[in-house]
Structure 1
Amino acid sequence: MDRAITWSLNHPIAPLPSYAIATVTIVAVAMARAQLVTSLLPWLLFVPVVLILGLLLGKGPGVYAALLSAFLAAVTIAGAGTPFWLTTQQWAATAVFAAVSISVVMIAAELRAAFRRLATQADEQARTNALLIEQDERLRLLNGELGHRIKNLLTIVGAVAAQTLRKAGNLKTANDALASRLAALGKATEFLTASESDSADLHALASAAFDAHGCHGSRCHYEGPVIRFNAQVTVALALALPEPVTNATKYGALSNDVGRVDLSWAILPGPNGDEPRFSLTWQERGGPEVRVPTRRGFGSLMIERSLRSYFRADTAITFDPADVVFKIEAPLAGAGMEGR
């Protein structure tokens, strides 16, 4: 019966068909009662039918079925010689039957409403359980991702520290350089954690590199289309871009009052219709006379090794007396792009 009630709740019947079903059912029971049951128990067969109709069709059709049952039962027991159709006792019994049947319908309607509430609660509980399972899975994935990021971050910190200490001439230089590079690494992590897509925009990376040295306006210019890089390339760029800015501030174009730095990038068509390519150019102009460095520092290593590896790119640094230029050119797919 509970399945039938649940089905009736999930497949509600319109009022007119409901009353038609109740009418046909009660008439059929009345005909069966007239043929098979003696007049001693004229209302017996109607009680369970009225109860079932109340449970399956609801209060309105149930009350209608109870009243129709009382009427048809009275018709089947009426005597031809009775002046008031029924005797006083039969009228009283019919009234009692009608009252009891309506009470049964009310109870059935309450049971039906209880089933509806339970079904609603079950659906809500199922949705809640599904959300909890989804959130638990998301939390598990986030914990795994957090552990992976921490492991990678510690690996990068160790590599940066080792390379900085190896190239530093003294403890103070090492301390200053390491602090600056860890700050750049922290900025990259901030970009990634603030982004839902686990990527960062090149404009934001360039702005952070220049802002760290207070370089603004025409002396520190950057331009290019909106490009987002994945986490690995973001970290590599966040560590690499501050290095030429630092060198330009100490020894290059930003060490005087007239020099300037231009950082530009673009997406270029590939040769012979091949895949488009990502191109980035750093150029210093107007600084002191450029001299080729006698040893490669951390920044040169980041550009020549790390960026080349992460971008799967061609990299080049040129030192002319008037300017310093380094270029990166890589296949678009190899640049770790997340979209434009």
Structure 2
Amino acid sequence: MDGRPSFLIGGGQAADAIARIDWAATPLGPIGQWPQSLKTALSMMLLSSFPKAIAWGRELTTFHNDAFAPILGDKPQALGRPFSEVWVEVWPEIQPMVEKAFAGEATFIENFKLTIDRHGYPEEAYFTFCYSPIRAENGEVGGMMDTVMETTETVLAQRQLAVTNAELSHRMRNALAMVGAIATMSLRHATGLDEARRQLSQRLAALGRTQSFLSGEAAEDAHIYELIEQSFSAHPNLRQRIDVVGADFRLGSNQALALSLALNELITNSIKYGALSKPEGRIGIRWDCAGFRFVWREAGISGVEAPSREGFGSKVLMQFVPASFSGQARMRYESDGLIYELEAPAAAIDNT
């Protein structure tokens, strides 16, 4: 024992600091003259592992425990200073609640926003706290107990979760609309049930791969090289026959999805009827970002003819994809294969 008052025993670093202060030079006077109500409240506060502070008397003299120190951050020592001075930057917001406590009424509030300065700059922080009156021996309110928990991380996490859920809901609506369009158009343009089943299954699988890629790898955007590689992931044996040229850049999720669907249609048609249906066929993919221009060019085979009817794949390539880019598309069949071009103004590319 070092002769310190019994109510400071076991109170940690805060108790050590209280013992070192010359209280005789303060309005409270020497520790030995403090009222028992203050000593009891201090003992309970110092032994608590929950963040607590006390504002005592008309001067609002501040005490706190070790658990309260992180809330103070780099502020000057709070012990012995007026509570209103310790929290001068937020005093207009908390003063009414302090006065309410000294009038004998407690206040409990959750996730209360305050802009505090504890590290040399203002920061937005949130607190759940209770200001409770402490009664002196005569029954009057002698001070206030501040029991507090900082909830900044929780509030920000909830805010981020709300944004994420909104984005997820938006993507789900888009995905369901896309599924509905794919199903309707696949059934409408198929020559039979078996063909419709195959086309629908293949297109939905491609849509699923792209959604998984965007959610798991890029979240909000996708690099075009990764998108192309992902589109050929179901056909790894064909990748060596594809030449890709262009500077890498990011596409927003909606345009990445549209381009992925276009690549799926181009790959599928090429495997069935075009350059990838013959061992000697090759595909060249290139793009220019200055004013966005994406080109798919097939080569290496002969006798290629345009299809006799326009199917869902053509609508994807010529209507849906250009609309997603606020651009236009052209498609023509040369003697050695298909050429598909997508053009859009650079300002329309969602790569922010």
Answer yes or no: same fold by TM over 0.5. yes
Contact 2:295–2:342 (Cα < 8 Å) also in 1: yes
Residue by residue over 1:222-269, the C-alpha shift from the partner in whole angstroms, topping out at 9 and shown as x without a partner, is 23222221121122112111111111111111111111011111213x
Counterparts of 1:74-113 in structure 2, within 5 Å, are 113=46
* Whole-angstrom CA distance in 2 between matches of 1:267 and 1:129: 45
Hey, what does 1:192 align to over in structure 2? 214
Distance in 2, matches of 1:334 and 1:244, equals 23
Return the offset for 1:118: 7.2
DSSP-derived class of the 1:165 partner? helix
Q: What amino acid sits opposite 2:205 in the alignment? A: A
Q: How does 1:8-87 map to 2 (within 5 A)?
A: 22=24, 49-51=29-31
Equivalent residue runs for 1:1-340 within 5 Å: 22=24, 49-51=29-31, 113=46, 115=53, 116-117=64-65, 120=68, 123=71, 128-195=150-217, 197-268=219-290, 277-338=291-352
State the Cα distance separating 1:113 from its structure 2 match: 4.3
Q: Counterparts of 2:166 and 2:39 in 1: how far apart (Å)?
A: 56
Is the Cα contact below 8 Å between 2:328 and 2:343 reproduced in 1?
Answer: yes
Higher helix share: 1
Cα distance in 2, alignment partners of residues 196 and 206 from structure 1:
14
Q: Secondary structure at the match of 2:344?
A: strand
Distance 2:249 2:66 in 1: 53
Which sections of structure 2, spanning at least 5 residues, go unmatched? Answer: 1-13, 48-52, 54-63, 72-126, 129-147
Cα shift at 1:217: 4.5
Partners of 1:256 and 1:248 in 2: how far apart? Answer: 9
Q: Which has the larger radius of gyration?
A: 1
Cα deviations by residue, 1:22-78 (Å, 9 ceiling, x for unpaired)? 5x679xxxxxxxxxxxxxxxxxxxxx72128989xxxxxxxxxxxxxxxxxxxxxxx
**Residue identity in the other structure for 1:279:** R
Q: Distance in 1 between matches of 2:193 and 2:258?
A: 25
Q: RMSD over aligned Cα, in angstroms?
A: 3.4
Aligned-pair CA distance for 1:110: 5.2
Distance 2:219 2:210 in 1: 14
Secondary structure at the residue paired with 1:328? strand
More deviation, 160-169/319-328: 319-328
State the Cα distance separating 1:127 from its structure 2 match: 5.8
Distance, in Å, in 2 between the alignment partners of 1:111 and 1:211 is 65
Q: How many residues align?
A: 248
* Separation in structure 2 between the aligned mates of residue 324 and residue 278 of structure 1, nearest angstrom: 20
For residue 296 of structure 1, what is the amino acid of its counterpart?
E
AA in 2 matched with 1:133: V
- Give SS of 2:175's match: helix
Q: Give 2:260's aligned amino acid.
A: A
User: Are the equivalent residues in 1 in contact too, given 2:301–2:336 (CA < 8 A)?
Assistant: yes
Secondary structure at 2:210's aligned position in 1?
Answer: helix
Q: Deviations over 1:106-146 (max 9, x none)?
A: 98985784642276189486664222222223333333332
Question: Which stretch has the larger CA shift, 239-248 or 210-219?
Answer: 210-219
Percent identity between the two aligned chains:
29
Q: In structure 2, do the counterparts of structure 1 residues 51 and 323 end up closer, same or farther at CA, with 3 Å as the change threshold?
A: same
Find the residue that maps to 2:306 and give its secondary structure. Answer: coil
Alpha-carbon distance in 1 for matches of 2:333, 2:210: 28
Structure-2 separation of matches of 1:210 and 1:112: 65
Give the drift of 1:154.
1.0
Q: 1:141 to 1:49 in 2, by over 3 A?
A: same
Q: Tell whether the 8 Å contact from 2:305 to 2:333 is kept in structure 1 after alignment.
A: yes
Q: What is the SS of the residue equivalent to 2:330?
A: strand
Structure 1 runs not aligned, ≥5 long? 1-8, 27-47, 56-102, 269-276
Equivalent-residue separation in structure 2 for 1:137 and 1:112 (angstroms): 33
Using the TM superposition, give the Cα deviation of residue 195 of structure 1 relative to its aligned residue in structure 2, in angstroms: 4.0
> What code does the residue aligned with 2:288 have?
A
| DSSP 3-state at the match of 1:211 | coil
Shift in CA distance, 52/228, structure 1 to aligned 2, threshold 3 Å:
farther
Higher strand proportion: 2
